[in-house]
Amino acid sequence: MDTLQTSRRGFLKSGTGAALSIGFALPLAGLSGRLDAATPFSPNAFLRIGSDGQVTVICGSAEMGQGVLTAIPMLVAEELDADWKTVRVEQAPVDKAYNNPMFQMQATGGSTTVRAFWEPMRQAGAAAREMLVAAAAAQWKVPAAECRTEAGQVIHKSGKKLGYGTLTAAAAQLPVPATPVLKDPKDFRILGKRTRRLDTPGKLNGSAKYGIDAQVPGMLVAVMARAPQPGAKPAKVDDSKAKAVKGVRQVITIPSGVAVLADGYWAAKKGRDALAIDWDLGAAKDLSSAKVSAMLAEGAGEPDAVAVDLGNTKDAAATGAKSVDATYEAPYLAHACMEPMNCTAWVQGDSVEIWVGTQSQGPNQGILSQVASVTPAKVKVNTLMLGGGFGRRFAPDFTIDATLLSKISGKPVKLIYSREDDMAAGFFRPASVTKFEAVLDSQGRPTMLKAGVGSPSIMAASGFMKIPDNGVDTFAMEGIADHPYDIANQRLAYGRKEPGPQVWFWRSVGHSQNIFFIESFIDELAAAARQDPYEYRRALLGKQPRYRGVLELAAQKAGWGSPLPAGVFRGIAVAQSFGSYVAEVAEVSIGADGTPKVHRVVAAVDCGMTVNPMTIERQIEGAIVYGLSAALYGRISFKDGRVEQGNFNDYPVLRMNEMPKVEVHIVPSTEKPGGIGEPGTPPIAPAVANAIFAATAKRLRSLPFDTAQLKKA
């Protein structure tokens, strides 16, 4: 058995491994010229126009269902004044030209693609349009000011027209404008319009390729017995039965586990299942969910890193008319992507090529150059579609392992995690405990709010972020530290605790649990004040017009205050995340066995200026499914150092028959664009929890919802 010896976490942080701590700072390959030297008109890295008028937009972001392969072309095509029927899209190679301006690296996450590329893509299209106009004006010998563009043509005021394809050779000889003039949004013809996605036909006819579809001649398939916890090591490995499985070629130990390489997936899986491994879990051997909860509760009770300190909470507490306190908890969560993690890698001499669905192409180039001891320029990343990302595919573990296995075996290797593999040894949304204290005045208005958050640090776990000097992990506190409510005296603090499991970014990151906490607690304050929860929020949002705008719209569209069918009750919540504002109203009934049924969700969204309303609606719908699955079912628990869940039988997701009717209402806005992939997730859990309270007078303060508390006697 081949073995590479070092600790899993040590390898990730070392200079010889796939250092998360340094990988994102590595230089990327430089732009080596236009993407296609034979193309007559390629004024920048994002755009090609052929002599046939075909417009090709090159997208540097990864497509994981969020619609970037349509949004990016729409941004370019709008300013280009292209005929949308002529527009196609290609996935970009890894190159610093495609760096996300908000990340300063080529990566996709944080609902940033449209926010980051709103101006750069429009400028790319506008520059090309000005060059085409200049080429046409020169041919006609008229001033450029006498020309306009529309649907892939330059049109002179006399009525003469030239298609873009006939102008490409001449336009290619002109200088590229440094500061092209962008359209006034009132003149948009493509942006803001419902547009069918460019990637849909390929998904329907099977031509779209996901990471798991990659095929390389002569490749082996690898399945791993992964280390159950960071730092765990195989104390003893018996691979004799694994090697006896027909089709198994090699068994290799690397820092993250023991891999079986075979001619196909089934042989590799049978070989992996035949391995006999005694794991040394080290300090994690006694890890349990009860110990995690106790540790995080300690952090929440004694938070020492202050994020917000306003007014005088001590005096406010002494003079209040009523006090309210509550403790909330959320568990670790898996990402549960429909396409499990996979990567195909081929290390040949001084070069590496991978085929993968990844959210972090640029960082992977730097990381894998160190894994394989080659220069970054010798690492080629073929970005394929992602069958779900949710932050999980930002991590490089599966690309690291595939590259290591190819390097050691000397063969191209496709590494595939089974569902159980990823669930049990994956990267989890942090568990968290938050303790609230509030004081109300005689009118029920809060005059003091204290919150202590106990949680692991994603910033520390990432390896490429530094916790600020005040000790506050931004992700652990987001949604609480920046809550919108007008409360004069506040102390909001963080108590870092590290139970041991690897934590990572999960759809909407800290907002996913913190909005449940704060929006449920605000509902508690409304109940203590004997006031309507919608009106109570509205009164506290006088200084927050965008929060208040979506809150009012959601309430109006849901018919807040109007009669509902017998046994159905409403709950409401509002949140801002990733630059967008979302309010949701959930209509819920409770079955005799205590099971909540969500009948309808009404969402109001203010995401600034929009690209594709159809995508916005679908992203909010998908975010609600994701958040509702977590609220009703999601939980990763530990016993004796190991994860207890393995697949959708014990980590359920929302089924089709459980799906509520969802209505999405978009606020017209001239504000700069916000994100849309994540902001729909945070409000759903508190909206449902608040509806459950309206139905039962029982406050559920932990996720997933404990339906036993709601069971009718």
Query: Measured between alpha carbons, how far is 456 from 479 in angstroms, rounded to an integer?
Result: 16
Q: Tell me the pLDDT tens digit for each residue of 410-467.
A: 999 999 999 999 998 789 999 999 999 999 999 999 999 999 999 999 999 999 999 9
Residue 6 pLDDT greater than 60, yes or no: no
Query: Measured between alpha carbons, how far is 681 from 678 in angstroms, rounded to an integer?
Result: 6
Q: Tell me the pLDDT tens digit for each residue of 610-633.
A: 999 999 999 999 999 999 999 999
Percent of the chain with pLDDT over 90: 92
Residue 394 DSSP label: G
Is residue 677 a contact partner of residue 389, using CB atoms and an 8 Å limit?
A: no
Question: What pLDDT does residue 40 have?
Answer: 72
Residue 14 pLDDT greater than 70, yes or no: no
Q: Tell me the pLDDT tens digit for each residue of 174-233.
A: 999 999 999 999 999 999 999 999 999 999 999 999 999 999 999 999 999 999 988 899
Q: Phi-psi region for residue 192, left (φ > 0), alpha (ψ -120 to 50) or beta?
A: left
Nearest to 224 by CA among 366, 461, 232: 232
Question: What pLDDT does residue 135 have?
Answer: 98
Query: Measured between alpha carbons, how far is 317 from 325 in angstroms, rounded to an integer?
Result: 12
Residue 12 pLDDT greater than 60, yes or no: no
Split at pLDDT 50, 70, 90, the class of 31 is: very low
Mean pLDDT, the chain, rounded, equals 94
Average pLDDT over residues 85-100: 97
What SS3 class is residue 135? helix
Helices 613-632 & 684-696 angle (0-180, nearest 10) = 50
Question: What pLDDT does residue 1 have?
Answer: 66
Nearest to 461 by CA among 404, 501, 493: 501
CA-to-CA dists, residue 121 to 47, 79, 383, 642, angstroms: 9, 9, 20, 46
Residue 35 pLDDT greater than 80, yes or no: no
Residue 210 DSSP label: B
Amino acid, single-letter form, for residue 172: A
Determine whether 231 is exposed, middle or buried from the number of CB atoms within 10 Å of its CB (0-12, 13-18, 19+).
middle
Is residue 72 a contact partner of residue 122, using CB atoms and an 8 Å limit?
A: no
Phi then psi dihedrals of residue 547, to 5 deg: -60, -50
Residue 9 pLDDT greater than 50, yes or no: no
Is residue 50 a contact partner of residue 168, using CB atoms and an 8 Å limit?
A: yes
Split at pLDDT 50, 70, 90, the class of 103 is: very high
Split at pLDDT 50, 70, 90, the class of 4 is: low
Query: Measured between alpha carbons, how far is 588 from 690 in angstroms, rounded to an integer?
Result: 10
Residue 7 pLDDT greater than 60, yes or no: no
Question: What pLDDT does residue 15 have?
Answer: 37
Residue 14 DSSP label: S
Question: What pLDDT does residue 712 have?
Answer: 82
Question: What pLDDT does residue 314 have?
Answer: 95
Q: Tell me the pLDDT tens digit for each residue of 370-400.
A: 999 999 999 999 999 999 999 999 999 999 9
Question: What pLDDT does residue 34 have?
Answer: 39
Query: Measured between alpha carbons, how far is 634 from 177 in angstroms, rounded to an integer?
Result: 52
Q: Tell me the pLDDT tens digit for each residue of 554-602.
A: 999 999 999 999 999 999 999 999 999 999 999 999 999 999 999 999 9
Concatenated DSSP letters of 143-185: -GGGEEEETTEEEETTS-EEEHHHHHHHHTTSPPPSSPPPPPG
Give the pair of three-digit tokens for residue 400. Answer: 């690291």
Question: What pLDDT does residue 425 have?
Answer: 79
Query: Measured between alpha carbons, how far is 259 from 241 in angstroms, rounded to an integer?
Result: 14
Half-sphere exposure of 611 (CA within 13 A, CB side): 31
Question: What pLDDT does residue 230 have?
Answer: 85
Give the pair of three-digit tokens for residue 20. Answer: 């998360």
Question: What pLDDT does residue 16 have?
Answer: 35
Half-sphere exposure of 68 (CA within 13 A, CB side): 28
Phi then psi dihedrals of residue 137, to 5 deg: -60, -40
Task: Tell me, rounded to whole angstroms, the distance of Cα 571 from its chain centroid.
Answer: 26
Report strand pairing: 276-280 vs 233-238. antiparallel
Question: What pLDDT does residue 490 have?
Answer: 98
Sheet containing 661-666, strands listed edge to edge, beginning at the edge strand earlier in sequence: 569-577, 580-590, 596-606, 661-666
Query: Measured between alpha carbons, how far is 270 from 273 in angstroms, rounded to an integer?
Result: 5
Is residue 23 a contact partner of residue 363, using CB atoms and an 8 Å limit?
A: yes
Question: What pLDDT does residue 426 have?
Answer: 81
Nearest to 518 by CA among 705, 675, 693, 326: 326
Give the pair of three-digit tokens for residue 643. Answer: 């994860």
Percent of the chain with pLDDT over 70: 94
Question: What pLDDT does residue 677 have?
Answer: 97
Query: Measured between alpha carbons, how far is 636 from 430 in angstroms, rounded to an integer?
Result: 10
Give the pair of three-digit tokens for residue 664. Answer: 């999405």
Question: What pLDDT does residue 39 have?
Answer: 55
Split at pLDDT 50, 70, 90, the class of 21 is: very low
Could you tell me the domains of the chain? 2-24+211-282+341-416 (3.30.365.10), 41-192 (3.30.365.10), 289-332+428-710 (3.30.365.10)
Query: Measured between alpha carbons, how far is 498 from 454 in angstroms, rounded to an integer?
Result: 9
Question: What pLDDT does residue 20 have?
Answer: 34
Who contacts 208 (Cβ-Cβ below 8 Å, separation ≥6)? 199, 202, 385
Split at pLDDT 50, 70, 90, the class of 407 is: very high
